[in-house]
Amino acid sequence: MGMSGKLMVGNWKMNGSLAANTSLLSELLSGMGGVNCLAAVCVPATHLAQAQSLLAGSALALGAQDVSAHESGAYTGEVSAAMLRDFAVRYVIVGHSERRQFHGETDTVVAHKAQRALAAGITPIVCVGESLAEHEAGQTEAVVKRQLAAVIHTNGHCISEIVVAYEPVWAIGTGLTATPEQAQAVHAVLRAQLQAATAHSQRVPILYGGSMNAGNVAGLLAQPDVDGGLIGGASLKAPDFLSMLKAASR
């Protein structure tokens, strides 16, 4: 069975406990037969050690949800890219809309977080996406291009090493998914922007996120520029996440 080439990433957000993680991860690992897409779970920083040990040697990669824009030093509460690297973290989400919205992360901060991750050999999953107000004002393209441009500006020479996730803020946790056509239109804009910035013709994966679930995953993944998914709520339920991994494996 060949690799499907899709990348499916669970974003647990601030959920889980040692006990709950043990059952979720063991249920996931026992259901991975037939899964041939790339798959990862982004867990809270406090649970990296547990997840690293439970996932060791498995087909499920380990990810984190945030990383400091600073290298080390007097930044109380922050977790550095080198610290994540110590737990064999492969991916880190940067610039999630919840970080931008509730923790004041600017485009510049997000770009520096991506840079720290890349310097530590961790793939940043750079999130972009417009708010409901921006969506309704017809500003979607301008907003996502501005957000991605900051990351390209700071990381130009290694931009082909990143992953991008398009997550319309109005679709996150709301049950309102972008239609496959809406997602494809934005992904095509991001694709063109990335192609203009990459020297080689490497394909930067562009994931869709925002109320992706077992029912809508196939239609979204069928779009030519949708290379996978970033999945919040549905990634906390093993049967749902597994069925999405299987849909991405065809």
CB of 196 to ligand PGA, least distance (A): 26
Is residue 105 a contact residue for ligand PGA (CB under 6 A)?
no
The token duo for 1 is: 């069975």
Q: Which of 105, 112, 167, 187 is catalytic?
A: 167
Query: CA 154 to CA 48: how far, in whole Å?
Result: 28
Residue closer to ligand PGA (CB basis): 173 or 215: 173
CB of 9 to ligand PGA, least distance (A): 8
Residue closer to ligand PGA (CB basis): 8 or 197: 8
Is residue 10 a contact residue for ligand PGA (CB under 6 A)?
no
For the chain, the DSSP string reads ------EEEEE--S---HHHHHHHHHHHHHT-TT--SEEEEEE-GGGHHHHHHHHTTSSEEEEES---SSSSSS-TT---HHHHHHTT--EEEES-HHHHHHS---HHHHHHHHHHHHHTT-EEEEEE---HHHHHTT-HHHHHHHHHHHHHHHHGGGGGG-EEEE--GGGTTTS-PPPHHHHHHHHHHHHHHHHHH-SS-PPPPEEEESS--TTTHHHHHTSTT--EEEESGGGGSHHHHHHHHHHTT-
Which range, of 17-25, 153-161, 191-199, 228-236, touches ligand PGA by CB under 6 A? 228-236
Is residue 124 a contact residue for ligand PGA (CB under 6 A)?
no
CB of 172 to ligand PGA, least distance (A): 4
The token duo for 214 is: 């077992």
Q: Is 105 a catalytic site residue?
A: no
Q: Which of residues 189-218 bind ligand PGA (CB under 6 A)?
A: 209-212
Q: Which of 96, 112, 135, 187 is catalytic?
A: 96
Q: Of these, 233, 246, 247, 249, which contacts ligand PGA (CB under 6 A)?
A: 233
Q: Which of residues 164-193 bind ligand PGA (CB under 6 A)?
A: 167, 172-173
Is residue 147 a contact residue for ligand PGA (CB under 6 A)?
no
Q: Is 96 a catalytic site residue?
A: yes
**Closest residue by beta carbon to ligand PGA:** 232
Q: Which residues bind ligand PGA (CB under 6 A)?
A: 11, 167, 172-173, 209-212, 230-234
- Residue positions annotated with a catalytic role: 96, 167
